[in-house]
Chains A and B, each alone.
Chain A
Amino acid sequence: MTAGIHNFTARRADTAATLVVLSLDGIALALPQHEIAALEPILDVQSLANRKAKAAGSLTIGERPCPVYALGSELNCLPKIPQSYRVCAILNNDSSRGREAFALACIEIRFVPRAAVATHELPRAMVKQKTPIKSLLVHGEQLLFATNVNALFTHITRIDADIIPFDERSRKLRQ
């Protein structure tokens, strides 16, 4: 599977001819097609014993572990992959920066021609630095959140950084 993972390219979502729509719990993310390396069935995902990890599971890609994240409706990391999530998208992370591939579990994956969506900027009142959402896309009656691998990786890493183990939090409160 590793051989199938492409090198990361800096092409932007708004220039990609095809978008890949990842359906999550009540929301849908749209990424440029070239940022998806492969799809894997959820059955191949192994649960992680370490409950402190943000990854809900792990895949073995070319003999290397690939963390699998399950995001919820607020783009929060879920500790377990929900039963409705049936497929994993392996994302082309920026290997030139030494970043490992990672995967997102989702309910379903669809391909949508770029021409079939209307792109809207994130309204000014909603703009926050800490969001991986780059723009809003309307496809039929569905709202899609445009993002990219870099932004998702940064978001997930940040969530990791924000997590303080319970015992450490208690220790800080006692000080």
Chain B
Amino acid sequence: MSGSAAWLMDFGGGVLAAMSVTHVLHVLEDMSLVHRVPLAPAHCNRVLVWQQQLLPVVDLAQLKAPELTAALSQPGRAYACVLGWRIANDATEYGVLLTRSLPRRIVIADDSMVAPSASEASTWQGSALSFFSYHGRTAPIIDPAPLFGLPPPSRDAIAPQGRHL
């Protein structure tokens, strides 16, 4: 049985998703480097100062399940996961996702890929590469670029590891 390595992330509010291991660069526990930006959209109203760059911080729970409590307003810890992905001309784009716990490394078996329900497909439209079954739940494998308002990378620029990852 073959599979692909991925990071499983819990975004709070019951939102769970996986991402290619090549996309996750850094996980920060120190939220003092995260600054709030007034009048920004609720799902992306923070930035992280990271290595002399200013990265947008997306709260996926707020984006995908706004009726539930957003990750940072829930009691308990939040982590800032710095992501990087290739765009055209070999350049790299960066962004940050807030998670409720440290990402967990998993292997997604090829035979665990499933078709999403209409509601799941609608929720993750434009940001899911595919879906897999994880402990009885259907979770997406996400492409970071659309979450940050950017076009998805071209096929050539997608991380080389894994089939869809």
What are the residues of chain B within 8 A of A125 when measuring CB–CB?
Answer: 41, 44, 56, 58, 95, 147-149
A138 surroundings in chain B (CB, below 8 A): 49, 54
A interface, how many residues as a size bin? Answer: 20 to 34
Q: What are the 7 closest A-B residue pairs judged by CB atoms, nearest first?
A: A123-B56, A125-B149, A120-B54, A124-B149, A143-B35, A126-B40, A125-B44
- Interface mask (B22-62 → A, CB under 8 Å = 1, otherwise 0): 00000000000101111111001101010011111010000
> How many angstroms between the C-alpha atoms of A123 and B33 in the bound complex?
16
- Sampled A-B contacts (16; CB under 8 Å): A26-B36, A73-B36, A75-B39, A123-B47, A123-B54, A123-B55, A125-B56, A125-B148, A125-B149, A126-B41, A126-B56, A132-B39, A133-B39, A136-B54, A141-B33, A145-B38
Does any Cβ of B come within 8 Å of A27's Cβ? yes
- Across the interface, do A118 and B41 meet the contact criterion of CB distance under 8 Å? no
- A interface list, Cβ under 8 A from B: 26-27, 73-75, 118, 120, 122-128, 130-133, 136, 138, 141, 143, 145
**Interface residue ranges, B against A (CB under 8 Å):** 33, 35-41, 44-45, 47, 49, 52-56, 58, 95, 147-150
Known pairs A74-B38, A128-B40, A138-B54; A143 contacts B150 (CB<8 A): no
Residue of B nearest to A144 (CB): B35
Partner of B39, one of A120, A124, A130, A143: A130
Q: What CA separation (Å) do A159 and B95 show in the bound complex?
A: 31
A136 touches B47 (CB 8 A): yes
Q: Is the CB of A75 within 8 A of B149?
A: no
- Report chain B residues within 8 Å CB of A132: 39
**Given A123-B54, A123-B56, A125-B149: A141 and B40 interface contact (C-beta under 8 Å):** no
Report yes or no: A143 in contact with B149, Cβ–Cβ below 8 A: no
Q: Which residues of B contact A143 (CB under 8 A)?
A: 35, 37, 47, 49, 54
